[in-house]
Amino acid sequence: EPEVTQTPSHQVTQMGQEVILRCVPISNHLYFYWYRQILGQKVEFLVSFYNNEISEKSEIFDDQFSVERPDGSNFTLKIRSTKLEDSAMYFCASVWAENGYTFGSGTRLTVV
Amino acid sequence: RKEVEQDPGPFNVPEGATVAFNCTYSNSASQSFFWYRQDCRKEPKLLMSVYSSGNEDGRFTAQLNRASQYISLLIRDSKLSDSATYLCVVNLISNFGNEKLTFGTGTRLTIIP
């Protein structure tokens, strides 16, 4: 069964540092998403990406966040200057047709 | 009012019991509905879609009431492996024509041997 692959599985970074979270979506999928889940809280939408541009973003997705699809396969989430409150699980998801979401196994980001 | 509201639990039930979860959603324009399962520190995984006519997948039955904006999940003959957090999820098409999933906080279920 096709998978969405995320790397790294766990990243520890110092406050103020930049981090890049990587995702390899399923190859024929067209829509890509990032979600995050702070420990003990619900999964929250960050951003959706279609046709090489952001289609929608949440209030969480401020100027410190950016997404790219640099080489047609990888899909990255960059946080420019991390804050303690950015500590969370970050999930990438890709979608082929309506409702067909496949989530990656996530990156646990810990900001210290 | 929360977009998707669930009883957080925890539900601790004996193996073999039947357990029911409920969920309400606030946006009547929501398009599609799901139950996801999430194990500790893992990604959400689709358990089943939910249709107005009700649908069943083995021991799992899901029901949608659009008029009441209410979704339910019934698990019969529960197994130890059913222990997880169950997420009520709603798919909404935004004003921009984009769709996104909105998650409830989840209901934690523990099956006791």
Q: How far apart are CA A76 and CA A83, in angstroms?
A: 18
Q: What is the pLDDT of residue B25?
A: 95
Question: How many CB atoms lie under 10 A from the CB of residue B70?
Answer: 13
Token pair of A91, please? Answer: 């999930």
Phi (first) and psi of residue B82, to 5 degrees: -80, -10
Token pair of B94, please? Answer: 């935004």
Q: What is the pLDDT of residue B54?
A: 87
- DSSP character for B55? E
Q: How far apart are CA B113 and CA A64, in angstroms?
A: 47
Query: Which single residue is written with the structure tokens 């929501």?
Result: B30
Q: What is the pLDDT of residue A16?
A: 97
> Which among B43, B96, B2 is positioned nearest to A107, based on CA atoms?
B43
CA distance, residue A70 to nearest chain B CA (Å): 22
Q: Is B32 on the interface with A (CB under 8 A)?
A: yes
Q: What is the pLDDT of residue B34?
A: 94
Q: Is B1 on the interface with A (CB under 8 A)?
A: no
Phi (first) and psi of residue B78, to 5 degrees: -60, 145
- Closest partner CB to B44 (pick from A44, A56, A103): A103
A3 contacts on B by Cβ (under 8 Å): none
Q: Is A103 on the interface with B (CB under 8 A)?
A: yes
pLDDT tens profile A9-28: 999 999 999 999 999 998 88
Is residue B18 very low, low, confident or very high in pLDDT (cuts 50, 70, 90)? very high
By the 8 A CB rule, do B110 and B53 touch?
A: no
Q: What type of residue is A105?
A: S
A50 contacts on B by Cβ (under 8 Å): 98
pLDDT tens profile A25-48: 988 888 899 999 999 999 999 999
Task: Check pLDDT > 90 for residue B21.
Answer: yes
Cβ-Cβ contacts under 8 Å for A100 (sequence gap 6 or more):
none
B94 contacts on A by Cβ (under 8 Å): 56
Helix (H), strand (E) at residue A12: strand A10-13
Cβ-Cβ contacts under 8 Å for A66 (sequence gap 6 or more):
A77, A78, A80
CA distance, residue B16 to nearest chain A CA (Å): 28
**pLDDT over 70 percentage in chain B:** 98
- Closest partner CB to A105 (pick from B42, B101, B103): B42
Q: What is the pLDDT of residue A1?
A: 72
pLDDT tens profile A47-100: 999 888 999 999 999 999 999 988 878 999 999 999 999 999 999 999 876 557
Q: Is A41 on the interface with B (CB under 8 A)?
A: yes
pLDDT tens profile B60-94: 999 999 999 999 999 999 999 999 999 999 998 77
